[in-house]
Amino acid sequence: MSSFSKIFNELVKGLSCFPGVGRRSAERMVFYILKMQPDQIKELAKKMEEIHNYIKPCKICNNFSTKDVCSICSSDKREKDIICVVEEPKDIMAIEKTSRYNGLYYCLLGSISPMEGIGGEDLNLRKLISRIEQGGVKEIVISTDPDHDGELTAQFVVQKLSKYNIKIYRIAIGIPLGAQIEYIDSATLGKAFLERKAVA
Ligand SMILES: [Zn+2]
């Protein structure tokens, strides 16, 4: 058996890989774990394994799902002729919280990033384009982050979709430039949806 400090440090190192968790926070988490009941820990570990094993991308929109098609794409209560384009599944969660949008989504699973050498051609637009080509889509609302990479991504998506007979909107970001969709409060994000502007 390894020593306490070895196990402690390995767990601190493991937890430090989470976004926003530095070494000190990771240490506090480990001390907290030591105080938890064994059942609580087992349940937590089980949930972490479950989310990894059973969650997969929706084959239509790339949102997280336990089934081939996510609950939003398969709902008969959503407007099917409007698609909101986002960078990541967490942006879908943020937009859903606003209750200001009732259409469908398409998740790019990334954005253009010159710093990381990711260009427009690296974005996966194929499934979105085939949905548009199948007909029935009237409106696209581009909701990429209002930062440099998000704006480049929005411009690229507009360029790729402008030849189709659809309306293309960008959410009206009166929100501080450089913000990320997931951190914008629901009221502001909801307003940005209501006041979306036509870009093509
Ligand atoms: Zn879906």
Residue indicated by tokens 């398969």: 74
Does the pLDDT of residue 58 top 80, yes or no?
yes
Q: How far is the centre of ligand 1, averaged over its atoms, from the C-alpha of 105 (Å)?
A: 7
The DSSP secondary-structure symbol of 62 reads: -
**Tokens 């501080």 sit on residue:** 176
User: Any idea where the domains of the chain sit in the sequence?
Assistant: 4-54, 64-198
Q: Kindly give the distance from the C-alpha atom of residue 60 to the centroid of ligand 1, in angstroms, as a whole number.
A: 5
Of residues 192 and 81, more confidently modeled: 81
What mean pLDDT is predicted for residues 26-53? 94
C-alpha 1 – ligand 1 centre gap (Å): 46
- Give the Å distances, CA to CA, from 63 to 55, 58, 92, 100, 142: 10, 5, 8, 18, 16
Ligand 1 centre distance from Cα of residue 147 (Å) = 25
The whole-angstrom separation of Cα 69 and Cα 59 is 6
pLDDT digits (tens, 9 = 90+) for 60-112: 999 999 999 999 999 999 999 999 999 999 999 999 999 999 999 999 999 99
| Distance in Å from the first CA to the final CA of the chain | 64
CATH architecture of 64-198: 3-Layer(aba) Sandwich (3.40)
What amino acid is encoded at 13 in this protein?
K
* Per-chain mean pLDDT for the chain: 92
CATH match for 4-54 among 1.10.8.420, 1.10.3210.10, 2.130.10.10, 3.30.70.100: 1.10.8.420
**Which pLDDT value is given to residue 9?**
95
Cα 163 to averaged position of ligand 1 atoms, centre (Å): 25
Average pLDDT of the segment spanning 117-130: 92
Task: Report residue 186's pLDDT band, with 50, 70 and 90 as the boundaries.
Answer: confident
pLDDT band at 174 (very low <50, low <70, confident <90, very high): low
What pLDDT sits at residue 62?
Answer: 96
Which is higher by pLDDT, 189 or 160?
160
**Ligand 1 centroid – CA 88 distance (Å):** 12
167 CB contacts (<8 Å, ≥6 apart)? Answer: 138, 139, 140, 198, 200
Amino acid letter, residue 93: M
The model's pTM: 0.80
Dmax (CA) of the chain = 66
Gap between the Cα atoms of 89 and 94, Å rounded? 9
